[in-house]
Structure formats: structure tokens, C-alpha cells
């Protein structure tokens, strides 16, 4: 892999922990050095059981260290100098144990000491048994590391060395090296304007009543936060919600579907990516009573009949005008999720539909987690496991990067 013109080569400290996936590390070193990066390796004692420091030293052209207190190794470069040296630290493979030690801030060997001492950004490539990855302890650790700004590449789903199938395989060396290039170039999202819609719309019936839905805005706010964190310029068109605006995001508050359509249409031409996660009311009352409708004015035992008219389809509208922009829609489905979403993407004409199964208690409206399928225009469906909405946002933006042709 040669660095693309936008990619910058840099100093990579590659921290290796003790899992079977360490057998892929020599290839990772090869890929990184070939891309022009300077690489230094540090191994946990367990990693030395899976990959030889001598191999890594030969491929990287620099001493591969594994001891914290070895006078020879410390004489070459002290562990604090080594922690200060890199532009980026890559932990590959990152075992459940090393993730737990990172979370706890332990410094009980060279690798964890370097991870605690470094000021450089850290990218981890987890690799472990699927049950270890799914364990609440690991989920909690990964969540806390993400909150501290630790970046993740993988793990990916597939056949695992332990014989199980599922998520837990380390990302391939090519994918890790491509992500390193992207992070060092720092400009994958620079100058990219991302438009996100979030929350539910509120369609007034009279001065106090309205038609709305249970959307909290959490999903769309997570997408906006992640896009901003990646360096994009983000405009968030939000229905009524109590959520606070993520850092670096410009927010436009709207109430009705017509307001949302006006805001989205005004912002869309200047955007390169649009993610429409709002739950837009499909209908609105044909007339809005300026005053509160009084029960007694309706007559004894009279119900209230509402005349509803359709709202515009905002997503279909911008999809028709998209040119070379990437347009992503969401689909809230309660049954036949994938089939319904396939029909929806064909109708709406967007580049991807994120379909959530809203019949689940832990997915869809007003939850902190989501379980989604990413549906392509050709009907291909990628199922993501139950994830936090922040993680769904990450996976979605990884896919957007692919759609934009950014190598990952």
C-alpha cells in the first residue's frame, strides 16, 4: 500500500498483547513500513508467546521491547521517551485483558505503562472470543475507553481461532494500516459538511395538542457527535428534544415536518453527506386551531374528527436532488425488517437505509442501544449486533467513508 497524496507518514508505536491474532502483526508491521511509517514495537510478556520480538525488530528496523525494567532496553530509549515518541499508538491485537487494564489505568508491564504515559491518540484493534467481546465487563470497558477518545478498528465477525463464530476477529492488517493512514492524514472529513436530522416532529392540532412520536433524538445526536468528532462540519436539524448539542455541532431546532423540510432543503445543497434519522410525521392535521379546542364545544359525547393531510417525504426529496452527495435514510420497522427496508430504499432512492427493529425493547425509539441492518440499494443487508447508539453511529460513518471512497 502506498500512501495516497493526502496521507502523511508518521511514527507508530505498535503495542502487541498476547492473543493468537498476534500472528498477523508481522504483516501489519510490513504494511505500515511500506506505507512510509516509522514503526516501533512493544510487546506484553504474553505477546512474546505468540510472535517473536526478533521478527518484529527485523521488519520494523527498530528494537522491539518487552521489558519495563531491562537495563539494556531502557538504555536504548527509556519507556517514557518511547511513550512520548509516537504520533499514534496502535494496540493490535488488543485482548480483553489489555482493554480491562487500559480502562483501569494499570501500568503493570511495559505496554500498559506506555499506554498510560503516552499523550498520543490510541487506536485499538480488539481480538478475542465472541463471548469475551460480548461480556458486560468488556462492553463497559470499551464504552469507557471510547468516552476517553480511544479509537477502535474492528473486531470483525467470522470464524474465531477458538472454534466459535462471531464478532471477535482482529481487523485485517490492511484495514488497520488504512485506518492509520486515515487518522494521520487527519483530513478524511475535513471540509466535509454533514447534515443530520434527529428526533420526532410535532404536528399541532390546536394551541396545546399535537401529533408526535417517541423519538428522543438520541440516534441522530449520536451520528452528529461522531461526525463532528471525526472532523466534519455538522449541521443538526432537530425536532423537539431535551438533549444538549454535541460539541462542534451547529443545531437548527424545528417543530413540524414542514419546518424540518425547509431547514433540510436549505442546508442540503452545501452538504456532502446527509443522514436522515428523524422520525418525521407522515401526516399533519389539515387545519391547526389557533385556540384550544374545548370539549364542551363539540357537543355531548361527541368525538373529535381530525382531517389529516400527508407531509412531504423529505428523504425522497433530497435523494432526487443528491447528485454526488451521499444520502442515508433510516427505517423504523416492526416486522419483516429487512424486506420492508429493501422496499423502502427502492422507494426513497437513497444510498443506504439503516433499518431498526422497533419491536425490540432494546432498539429503536428512546433507547440507549440499537440493533440495525445496513441495507444497500441492491438489497444487501449487513446485520450489526446490539450496540450503543454511539457505536451504531461509528459503524454507520465507517460505511459512509467506504461509500465516499476513503480507503479503510
Binding site for ligand PMT (CB under 6 A): 197, 199, 215-219, 257, 276-280, 282, 311, 313-315, 329-332, 344, 356, 364-366
> What single-letter DSSP state applies at residue 23?
G
To ligand PMT, the closest distance from the beta carbon of 143 in angstroms equals 17
Whole-number minimum distance, CB 322 to ligand PMT, in Å?
13
Which residues does 73 contact at the CB level (< 8 Å), separation at least 6? 63, 65, 66, 67
Query: Which of 12, 46, 6, 7 is closest to 30 using CA atoms?
Result: 12
For residue 203, which phi and psi values (nearest 5 degrees)?
-110, 105
Nearer to ligand PMT, 30 or 146 (CB): 146
The nearest distance, CB 81 to ligand PMT, in angstroms, is 46
Q: To the nearest whole angstrom, how small is the minimum distance from the Cβ of residue 403 to ligand PMT?
A: 16
Q: Is 162 a catalytic residue?
A: yes
Whichever of 85 and 365 has its CB closer to ligand PMT, that residue is: 365
Distance in angstroms (rounded) separating the CA atoms of residues 357 and 87: 41
Cell of 325: 452527495
**The three cell numbers locating residue 150:** 480511544
Is-contact 14 122, C-beta < 8 A?
no
Which CB, 315 or 375, lies closer to ligand PMT?
A: 315
Please, what is the minimum distance in Å from the beta carbon of residue 332 to ligand PMT? 4
The strand pair at 165-169 and 156-159 is best described as antiparallel
C-alpha cell at 384: 450489526
Q: Which is nearer to ligand PMT, 122 or 219 (CB)?
A: 219
- CB 213 within 8 Å of CB 228: no
Burial class for 290, CB neighbours closer than 10 Å (0-12, 13-18, 19+): exposed
d(CA 22, CA 35): 20
Looking up cell 446485520 gives 383
What angle (nearest 5°) sits at the alpha carbon of residue 402, between those of residues 337 and 130? 60
Which H/E stretch holds residue 226?
helix 218-229
Say which of 41, 48, 162, 271 is annotated catalytic. Answer: 162
Q: Tell me how far, at minimum, the Cβ of 305 lies from ligand PMT, in Å.
A: 23
Identify which of residues 43 and 353 has a Cβ nearer to ligand PMT in the complex: 353
By beta-carbon proximity to ligand PMT, the closer residue of 181 and 239 is: 239
Active site residues: 162
Amino acid at each position: 500500500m502506498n500512501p495516497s497524496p493526502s496521507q502523511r507518514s508518521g511514527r507508530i508505536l505498535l503495542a502487541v498483547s498476547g492473543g493468537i491474532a498476534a500472528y498477523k502483526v508481522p504483516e501489519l508491521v510490513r504494511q505500515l513500513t511500506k506505507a512510509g511509517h516509522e514503526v516501533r514495537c512493544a510487546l506484553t510478556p504474553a505477546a512474546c508467546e505468540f510472535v517473536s520480538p526478533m521478527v518484529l525488530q527485523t521488519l520494523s528496523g527498530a528494537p522491539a521491547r518487552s521489558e519495563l525494567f531491562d537495563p539494556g532496553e531502557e538504555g536504548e530509549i527509556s519507556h517514557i521517551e518511547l511513550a512520548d515518541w509516537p504520533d499514534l499508538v496502535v494496540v493490535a491485537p488488543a485482548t480483553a485483558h489489555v482493554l480491562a487494564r487500559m480502562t483501569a489505568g494499570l501500568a503493570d508491564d511495559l505496554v500498559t505503562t506506555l499506554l498510560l504515559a503516552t499523550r498520543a491518540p490510541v487506536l485499538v484493534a480488539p481480538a478475542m472470543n465472541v463471548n469475551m467481546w460480548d461480556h458486560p465487563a468488556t462492553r463497559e470497558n470499551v464504552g469507557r475507553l471510547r468516552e476517553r477518545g480511544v479509537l477502535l478498528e474492528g473486531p470483525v465477525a467470522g470464524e474465531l481461532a477458538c472454534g466459535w463464530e462471531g464478532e471477535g476477529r482482529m481487523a485485517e492488517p490492511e484495514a488497520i494500516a488504512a485506518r492509520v493512514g486515515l487518522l494521520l492524514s487527519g483530513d478524511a472529513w475535513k471540509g466535509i459538511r454533514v447534515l443530520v436530522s434527529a428526533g420526532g416532529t410535532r404536528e399541532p392540532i390546536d394551541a396545546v395538542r399535537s401529533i408526535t412520536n417517541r423519538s428522543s433524538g438520541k440516534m441522530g445526536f449520536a451520528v452528529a457527535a461522531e461526525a463532528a468528532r471525526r472532523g466534519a462540519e455538522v449541521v443538526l436539524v432537530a425536532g423537539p428534544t431535551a438533549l444538549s448539542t454535541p460539541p462542534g455541532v451547529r443545531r437548527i431546532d424545528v417543530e413540524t415536518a414542514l419546518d424540518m423540510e425547509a431547514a433540510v432543503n436549505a442546508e442540503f445543497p452545501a452538504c456532502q453527506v446527509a443522514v436522515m434519522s428523524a422520525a418525521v410525521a407522515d401526516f399533519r392535521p389539515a387545519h391547526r386551531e389557533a385556540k384550544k379546542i374545548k370539549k364542551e364545544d363539540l357537543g355531548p359525547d361527541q368525538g373529535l374528527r381530525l382531517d389529516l393531510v400527508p407531509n412531504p417525504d423529505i428523504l425522497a426529496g433530497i435523494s432526487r436532488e443528491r447528485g454526488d452527495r451521499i444520502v442515508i435514510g433510516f427505517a423504523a420497522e416492526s416486522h419483516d425488517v429487512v424486506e420492508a427496508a429493501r422496499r423502502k430504499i427502492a422507494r426513497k432512492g437513497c444510498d443506504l437505509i439503516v433499518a431498526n427493529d422497533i419491536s425490540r425493547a432494546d432498539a429503536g425509539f428512546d433507547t440507549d442501544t440499537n440493533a440495525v441492518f445496513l441495507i444497500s440499494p441492491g438489497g444487501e443487508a449487513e446485520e450489526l449486533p446490539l450496540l450503543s447508539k454511539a457505536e451504531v453511529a461509528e459503524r454507520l460513518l465507517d460505511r459512509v467513508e467506504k461509500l465516499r471512497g476513503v480507503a479503510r
